[in-house]
Structure 1
C-alpha cells in the first residue's frame, strides 16, 4: 500500500498558467523599462522549459544578459507571482482538496516537492490553507544540486518513507520517482508532454483518479 504521496506544485496542484503569463509580461516590461529587452515576451519559450529551477529559466530566456540582470529579473518575477497569488488570480486544479481529504482519511501522508522557490510556495500554501493536509513543503532551494530527484530523496530520508508515489506533470517528477524506487504518477495537465508521461507508471487526466490508484 502507498503510505505517502509526494506532489509537485506547478502544473500539478496549482494552475500556474493563470498567473504565469501576466507575471512573465510584468518581468519583461520591467526589463524594457531598464532598456534591457526589445521584442515580445518569450512566453512560448518559457512554456517549453516550464518546471526547471528558475536560475535555469533565466539562463535560457536571457542568455546574453549578465547574472546581475538575471537576478534582478528573478527577484521581480517572484514578487509579481506572489502578488498575483495573494490577490486570488491563481487557482488550484479541480479536486485537490477532495483528494487531500481522501488521502488523510486513509492515513496517507502528503508532501510537496517543487522546483519553485520557498517564498512562492509559502504564498500558495498559505492562501489555499494547504497546511491543513500537507505534512511539509520542500523547495528546490533546499538542495544544492537543484535536482528534483535529490529533493525527493531528502523527503524520503527525513520521514523514513518506503512505500510512496510521486505525482507530477513533467519528466523531472517521473525521474525523481524512478530514481528513488517510488511509483511515478504523471498528470496530463497544462504543461505535460506525451513523451515524458509515457515513462510514468500511471497517467491521470484529473487528480480525482488518484482515489482509484491509491487505495486502503
Structure 2
C-alpha cells in the first residue's frame, strides 16, 4: 500500500498574500509604463479568483487585451514573483516543516500539486529547502487540460498511490481529492471560502491538525465520517 498527501501550494503551504500584491503592483506598473493600463492595480479581483491557472487569471484581469500581451504579462509577473521569493519577502504557513517531518516519519509520501507554474514552485521549494521531504512537485502546466483533478490523477498513476489525501484551500483541491478517491482536507486559511470548504471531508485551521488524521489514512477507501469527527467540520 502506498500512502501519500498531495498538497496545494498557494494559500496552503505558502503565504502567497505576502508577495502577491507587490508582484502584481510591479506588473501593472510595467503595463502602465507601456501605456497598456490605466487605473489601480486589480488586486481585489485577483483575490477573488485566487487558485485558478494563470492563463485564466490574465483573461479575467486583462479581458480587453491581446493574447500576446497577456502572455508577456504572465511572463513578467512570474519573474517578479520569483524575485520576491528569492528576496525572502514570502513565508510558509506555520508548521509546514513540522508536519512534513511527521509525515515522513510515518512513511507517507509528500507531493505538491499546484496551479502555479514550474519556475515559481521551484523557487519556493528551493528557498525553503522543502525537497528534504518532498517526493516530487507538479505544476498545472504539466497537464494539457489545466485541470487539478487530472494533475492529481497523473500523480496517483505514476506513483501507485492507493490511499491518502489532497490538502488545499480551494474547491479545485477538494474536487481533485473526491474525483480521485482520496480524502479532501480543506485549509481554512487566507483565500479559503466557507461555501467551498463545506464540501471537504475535513476542515483544518492549522496544518498541525493533519497529524491527528494520519492514523485514518491506513484504510482505503477512507471512512469520511470518522474524519469529520476528527476535523470538526
Is 1:20 the equivalent of 2:20? yes
CA distance in 2, matches of 1:111, 1:211: 16
Aligned to 1:146: 146
Maintained 8 Å contact 2:111/2:135: yes
CA distance in 2, matches of 1:157, 1:72: 34
Maintained 8 Å contact 1:2/1:165: no
Is 1:135 the equivalent of 2:158? no
* Deviation by residue 1:139-160 (Cα, 9 ceiling, x = unmatched): 0010000000000000000001
After TM superposition, which residue ranges in structure 1, 4 or more long, deviate above 3 angstroms?
none
Maintained 8 Å contact 2:167/2:186: yes
Aligned to 2:84: 84
* Deviation by residue 1:114-149 (Cα, 9 ceiling, x = unmatched): 000000000000001110000000000100000000
Maintained 8 Å contact 1:99/1:208: yes
- CA-based RMSD: 1.1
Aligned to 1:203: 203
Question: Which structure has more RCO (C-alpha within 8 Å, separation ≥ 6)?
Answer: 1
- What SS does the corresponding residue of 1:214 show, helix, strand or coil? helix
- What SS does the corresponding residue of 2:134 show, helix, strand or coil? coil
Query: Number of residues paired by the alignment?
Result: 216
Give the TM-score taking structure 2 as reference length: 0.91
CA distance in 2, matches of 1:209, 1:97: 13
Maintained 8 Å contact 1:2/1:214: no
Which ranges in structure 2 are unaligned for 5 or more consecutive residues?
219-233
CA distance in 1, matches of 2:25, 2:2: 41
TM-fit CA distance, 1:2: 8.2
Maintained 8 Å contact 2:2/2:160: no
CA distance in 2, matches of 1:179, 1:32: 42
TM-fit CA distance, 1:214: 1.2
